[in-house]
Amino acid sequence: TDRLLQKSEKLALLGQMAAGIAHEIRNPLTSIKGFIQLLKSNDLKEEYFDIIFSELERINSIVGEFLVLAKPSASIFVEQDVKVLIKDVVTLINTQSILNNVQIFVEFDSDLPMVSCERNQLKQVFLNLLKNSIEAMPKGGSIDVKVKEKEEGKISIQIIDQGVGIPKERIPTLGEPFYTTKEKGTGLGLMTCFKIIESHNGKLTIQSKLNEGTTIEIILPTITQSLLKMDRVR
Ligand code: ADP
Ligand code: MG
Protein backbone atom coordinates (compact mmCIF):
# COMPACT_ATOMS: atom_id res chain seq x y z
CA THR A 1 0.00 0.00 0.00
CA ASP A 2 2.95 2.24 0.63
CA ARG A 3 3.92 2.15 -3.00
CA LEU A 4 0.34 2.64 -4.18
CA LEU A 5 0.00 5.72 -2.04
CA GLN A 6 3.20 7.12 -3.42
CA LYS A 7 1.95 6.48 -6.91
CA SER A 8 -1.37 8.27 -6.39
CA GLU A 9 0.47 11.19 -4.81
CA LYS A 10 2.72 11.32 -7.82
CA LEU A 11 -0.26 11.27 -10.15
CA ALA A 12 -1.91 14.11 -8.24
CA LEU A 13 1.27 16.13 -8.48
CA LEU A 14 1.51 15.36 -12.18
CA GLY A 15 -2.07 16.56 -12.64
CA GLN A 16 -1.29 19.84 -10.87
CA MET A 17 1.82 20.30 -12.96
CA ALA A 18 -0.04 19.55 -16.18
CA ALA A 19 -2.69 22.13 -15.28
CA GLY A 20 0.04 24.66 -14.52
CA ILE A 21 1.86 24.03 -17.77
CA ALA A 22 -1.35 24.16 -19.79
CA HIS A 23 -2.14 27.51 -18.20
CA GLU A 24 1.34 28.95 -18.74
CA ILE A 25 1.42 27.86 -22.35
CA ARG A 26 -2.12 29.02 -23.10
CA ASN A 27 -1.28 32.64 -22.28
CA PRO A 28 1.41 33.10 -24.92
CA LEU A 29 -0.61 31.03 -27.40
CA THR A 30 -3.62 33.31 -26.96
CA SER A 31 -1.41 36.31 -27.45
CA ILE A 32 0.19 34.82 -30.59
CA LYS A 33 -3.23 34.08 -32.01
CA GLY A 34 -4.36 37.65 -31.42
CA PHE A 35 -1.29 39.19 -33.01
CA ILE A 36 -1.46 36.92 -36.04
CA GLN A 37 -5.01 38.14 -36.60
CA LEU A 38 -3.77 41.73 -36.32
CA LEU A 39 -0.96 41.05 -38.78
CA LYS A 40 -3.55 40.33 -41.43
CA SER A 41 -5.20 43.72 -41.20
CA ASN A 42 -2.55 46.13 -40.02
CA ASP A 43 0.71 47.71 -41.00
CA LEU A 44 2.43 47.50 -37.62
CA LYS A 45 3.76 44.18 -38.85
CA GLU A 46 7.25 44.47 -37.43
CA GLU A 47 6.17 45.12 -33.84
CA TYR A 48 3.65 42.31 -33.96
CA PHE A 49 6.27 40.04 -35.37
CA ASP A 50 8.58 40.79 -32.42
CA ILE A 51 5.84 40.04 -29.91
CA ILE A 52 4.93 36.79 -31.64
CA PHE A 53 8.56 35.79 -31.72
CA SER A 54 9.15 36.43 -28.03
CA GLU A 55 5.97 34.59 -27.05
CA LEU A 56 7.12 31.60 -29.10
CA GLU A 57 10.47 31.75 -27.32
CA ARG A 58 8.63 31.69 -24.03
CA ILE A 59 6.71 28.55 -24.97
CA ASN A 60 9.95 27.02 -26.13
CA SER A 61 11.71 27.65 -22.84
CA ILE A 62 8.77 26.34 -20.78
CA VAL A 63 8.71 23.14 -22.80
CA GLY A 64 12.52 22.95 -22.68
CA GLU A 65 12.65 23.08 -18.88
CA PHE A 66 10.12 20.28 -18.63
CA LEU A 67 12.05 18.14 -21.07
CA VAL A 68 15.04 18.29 -18.73
CA LEU A 69 12.83 16.85 -16.00
CA ALA A 70 11.26 14.26 -18.26
CA LYS A 71 14.64 12.77 -19.13
CA PRO A 72 15.67 11.00 -15.88
CA SER A 73 14.17 7.71 -17.09
CA ALA A 74 17.11 7.48 -19.47
CA SER A 75 19.65 8.95 -17.08
CA ILE A 76 23.04 7.37 -16.62
CA PHE A 77 24.99 8.01 -13.45
CA VAL A 78 28.74 8.12 -13.85
CA GLU A 79 31.73 8.86 -11.67
CA GLN A 80 32.52 12.50 -12.18
CA ASP A 81 34.78 15.29 -11.03
CA VAL A 82 32.44 18.25 -10.28
CA LYS A 83 35.32 20.62 -10.99
CA VAL A 84 35.21 19.69 -14.66
CA LEU A 85 31.44 20.17 -14.90
CA ILE A 86 31.62 23.58 -13.27
CA LYS A 87 34.44 24.71 -15.54
CA ASP A 88 32.41 23.58 -18.58
CA VAL A 89 29.37 25.53 -17.44
CA VAL A 90 31.37 28.66 -16.64
CA THR A 91 32.81 28.54 -20.17
CA LEU A 92 29.33 28.04 -21.57
CA ILE A 93 27.93 31.07 -19.76
CA ASN A 94 30.99 33.25 -20.32
CA THR A 95 29.51 35.42 -23.08
CA GLN A 96 26.38 36.13 -21.10
CA SER A 97 28.35 37.08 -18.00
CA ILE A 98 30.70 39.38 -19.93
CA LEU A 99 27.73 41.08 -21.62
CA ASN A 100 26.28 41.71 -18.16
CA ASN A 101 29.50 42.92 -16.54
CA VAL A 102 29.59 39.94 -14.25
CA GLN A 103 32.79 38.19 -13.26
CA ILE A 104 32.75 34.60 -12.09
CA PHE A 105 35.44 33.43 -9.66
CA VAL A 106 35.83 29.73 -9.05
CA GLU A 107 37.65 28.27 -6.04
CA PHE A 108 38.30 24.56 -5.48
CA ASP A 109 39.68 22.46 -2.65
CA SER A 110 42.56 20.42 -3.94
CA ASP A 111 41.95 16.66 -4.00
CA LEU A 112 38.18 16.82 -4.26
CA PRO A 113 36.50 13.41 -4.12
CA MET A 114 34.40 12.32 -7.09
CA VAL A 115 30.60 12.24 -7.16
CA SER A 116 28.16 9.92 -8.87
CA CYS A 117 25.95 11.97 -11.17
CA GLU A 118 24.03 12.40 -14.36
CA ARG A 119 26.37 14.85 -16.10
CA ASN A 120 23.92 16.84 -18.18
CA GLN A 121 21.46 17.21 -15.36
CA LEU A 122 24.06 18.50 -12.95
CA LYS A 123 25.33 20.90 -15.61
CA GLN A 124 21.77 22.12 -16.05
CA VAL A 125 21.63 22.87 -12.30
CA PHE A 126 24.83 24.94 -12.36
CA LEU A 127 23.67 26.71 -15.52
CA ASN A 128 20.27 27.64 -14.05
CA LEU A 129 21.84 28.89 -10.80
CA LEU A 130 24.56 30.94 -12.48
CA LYS A 131 21.97 32.43 -14.83
CA ASN A 132 19.81 33.45 -11.89
CA SER A 133 22.81 35.07 -10.21
CA ILE A 134 23.72 36.99 -13.37
CA GLU A 135 20.10 38.09 -13.79
CA ALA A 136 20.06 39.24 -10.15
CA MET A 137 22.88 41.73 -10.85
CA PRO A 138 21.56 44.10 -13.54
CA LYS A 139 24.44 46.50 -12.88
CA GLY A 140 27.04 43.77 -12.90
CA GLY A 141 29.13 42.41 -10.06
CA SER A 142 30.78 39.16 -9.17
CA ILE A 143 29.83 35.60 -8.47
CA ASP A 144 31.93 33.32 -6.28
CA VAL A 145 31.71 29.60 -6.80
CA LYS A 146 33.31 27.61 -3.97
CA VAL A 147 33.67 23.87 -4.03
CA LYS A 148 34.94 21.96 -1.02
CA GLU A 149 34.73 18.70 0.86
CA LYS A 150 32.39 19.70 3.65
CA GLU A 151 32.80 16.66 5.85
CA GLU A 152 33.55 13.00 5.25
CA GLY A 153 31.44 11.88 2.29
CA LYS A 154 29.98 15.25 1.36
CA ILE A 155 30.85 17.87 -1.23
CA SER A 156 29.60 21.42 -0.90
CA ILE A 157 29.15 23.72 -3.88
CA GLN A 158 28.31 27.33 -3.08
CA ILE A 159 27.22 29.95 -5.58
CA ILE A 160 27.41 33.38 -4.01
CA ASP A 161 26.18 36.54 -5.72
CA GLN A 162 25.84 40.19 -4.78
CA GLY A 163 22.49 40.62 -6.45
CA VAL A 164 19.08 42.00 -5.56
CA GLY A 165 18.37 39.19 -3.11
CA ILE A 166 15.09 37.46 -2.32
CA PRO A 167 12.48 38.62 0.23
CA LYS A 168 12.61 36.49 3.38
CA GLU A 169 8.99 35.34 3.12
CA ARG A 170 9.58 34.13 -0.44
CA ILE A 171 12.50 31.84 0.32
CA PRO A 172 10.51 28.86 1.70
CA THR A 173 8.31 28.79 -1.41
CA LEU A 174 11.13 28.84 -3.96
CA GLY A 175 11.06 25.75 -6.12
CA GLU A 176 7.33 25.96 -6.68
CA PRO A 177 6.71 26.07 -10.42
CA PHE A 178 5.97 29.34 -12.26
CA TYR A 179 7.01 31.80 -9.58
CA THR A 180 9.03 34.45 -11.35
CA THR A 181 9.81 38.13 -10.90
CA LYS A 182 11.21 38.45 -14.42
CA GLU A 183 9.41 39.64 -17.50
CA LYS A 184 10.85 36.80 -19.53
CA GLY A 185 11.15 34.27 -16.72
CA THR A 186 9.51 30.86 -16.64
CA GLY A 187 9.77 30.25 -12.91
CA LEU A 188 10.88 26.69 -13.62
CA GLY A 189 14.64 26.92 -13.19
CA LEU A 190 14.79 26.45 -9.43
CA MET A 191 12.17 23.71 -9.44
CA THR A 192 14.31 21.83 -11.94
CA CYS A 193 17.38 22.32 -9.73
CA PHE A 194 15.60 21.02 -6.62
CA LYS A 195 14.32 17.92 -8.47
CA ILE A 196 17.70 17.11 -9.96
CA ILE A 197 19.60 17.55 -6.69
CA GLU A 198 16.99 15.43 -4.91
CA SER A 199 17.45 12.66 -7.48
CA HIS A 200 21.17 12.79 -6.65
CA ASN A 201 20.43 12.33 -2.93
CA GLY A 202 21.73 15.80 -2.32
CA LYS A 203 20.40 18.97 -0.77
CA LEU A 204 19.91 22.50 -2.07
CA THR A 205 19.56 25.40 0.34
CA ILE A 206 19.03 29.10 -0.30
CA GLN A 207 20.12 31.98 1.89
CA SER A 208 19.47 35.52 0.84
CA LYS A 209 19.33 39.11 1.99
CA LEU A 210 17.48 41.81 0.09
CA ASN A 211 19.85 44.17 -1.71
CA GLU A 212 22.87 42.22 -0.48
CA GLY A 213 22.86 38.97 -2.33
CA THR A 214 22.09 35.30 -2.43
CA THR A 215 24.02 32.17 -1.54
CA ILE A 216 22.91 28.83 -2.92
CA GLU A 217 24.52 25.75 -1.43
CA ILE A 218 24.36 22.30 -2.92
CA ILE A 219 25.49 19.31 -0.90
CA LEU A 220 26.22 16.14 -2.84
CA PRO A 221 27.28 12.76 -1.51
CA THR A 222 30.72 11.68 -2.69
CA ILE A 223 30.99 8.56 -4.80
CA THR A 224 32.00 6.32 -1.88
CA GLN A 225 29.01 7.59 0.07
CA SER A 226 26.66 6.87 -2.85
CA LEU A 227 28.03 3.34 -3.20
CA LEU A 228 27.63 2.67 0.53
CA LYS A 229 24.02 3.76 0.31
CA MET A 230 23.36 1.44 -2.63
CA ASP A 231 24.84 -1.40 -0.64
CA ARG A 232 22.48 -0.76 2.22
CA VAL A 233 19.46 -0.74 -0.10
CA ARG A 234 20.52 -4.09 -1.50
P1 ADP B 1 13.18 32.42 -13.51
O2 ADP B 1 14.66 32.63 -13.49
O3 ADP B 1 12.68 32.00 -14.85
O4 ADP B 1 12.40 33.60 -12.94
P5 ADP B 1 13.71 30.51 -11.41
O6 ADP B 1 12.94 29.33 -10.93
O7 ADP B 1 15.10 30.28 -11.89
O8 ADP B 1 12.82 31.18 -12.54
O9 ADP B 1 13.73 31.60 -10.26
C10 ADP B 1 12.51 31.98 -9.66
C11 ADP B 1 12.63 33.35 -8.99
O12 ADP B 1 13.47 33.26 -7.85
C13 ADP B 1 13.26 34.43 -9.86
O14 ADP B 1 12.33 35.04 -10.72
C15 ADP B 1 13.80 35.39 -8.81
O16 ADP B 1 12.80 36.23 -8.34
C17 ADP B 1 14.20 34.46 -7.67
N18 ADP B 1 15.65 34.15 -7.68
C19 ADP B 1 16.23 32.98 -8.03
N20 ADP B 1 17.57 33.04 -7.91
C21 ADP B 1 17.87 34.28 -7.48
C22 ADP B 1 19.09 34.99 -7.15
N23 ADP B 1 20.29 34.41 -7.25
N24 ADP B 1 18.98 36.27 -6.72
C25 ADP B 1 17.76 36.87 -6.59
N26 ADP B 1 16.59 36.27 -6.89
C27 ADP B 1 16.63 35.00 -7.32
MG1 MG C 1 16.07 31.10 -13.65
Q: Each residue of 106-148: pLDDT tens digit?
A: 999 988 999 999 998 999 999 999 999 999 999 999 999 999 9
Asked if 133 contacts 214 with a C-beta cutoff of 8 angstroms, the reply is yes
Q: What's the whole-number average pLDDT of the chain?
A: 89
Decide which of 40 and 157 is more confident: 157
- Span 62-94, pLDDT tens digits: 888 887 776 655 678 899 999 999 999 999 999
Does the structure show a pLDDT above 60 at 97? Answer: yes
- Atom in ligand 1 nearest the alpha carbon of residue 187: 8
- Span 198-223, pLDDT tens digits: 999 999 999 999 999 999 999 999 98
SS3 percent helix, strand, coil of the chain, rounded to 5, is 55, 20, 20
Separation of alpha carbons 34 and 37, rounded Å:
5
- List alpha helices for 74-182, DSSP H: 82-99, 119-135
Query: Across residues 99-104, what is the average pLDDT?
Result: 96
Separation of alpha carbons 140 and 159, rounded Å:
16
Q: What pLDDT score does 21 carry?
A: 85
Distance 65 CA to ligand 2 centre (A): 10
* pTM for this entry: 0.83
The share of the chain scoring above pLDDT 90, in percent, equals 59
Does the structure show a pLDDT above 70 at 1? Answer: no
Does the structure show a pLDDT above 90 at 15? Answer: no
List phi, psi (to 5°) of 138.
-60, -25
Give Cβ neighbours of residue 25 (< 8 Å, ≥ 6 apart).
59, 62, 63
Q: What pLDDT score does 200 carry?
A: 93
- List alpha helices for the chain, DSSP H: 2-41, 45-70, 82-99, 119-135, 189-199, 223-233
Cβ < 6 A, ligand 1 pocket: 128, 132-133, 136, 161, 163-166, 174, 179-182, 185-190, 214
Q: What pLDDT score does 122 carry?
A: 94
Look up the ipTM and state it.
0.99
Query: Across residues 35-53, what is the average pLDDT?
Result: 87
Confidence of residue 14 (pLDDT cuts 50, 70, 90): confident
Q: Which ligand is nearest to the CA of 62?
A: 1
- Span 182-202, pLDDT tens digits: 988 889 999 999 999 999 999
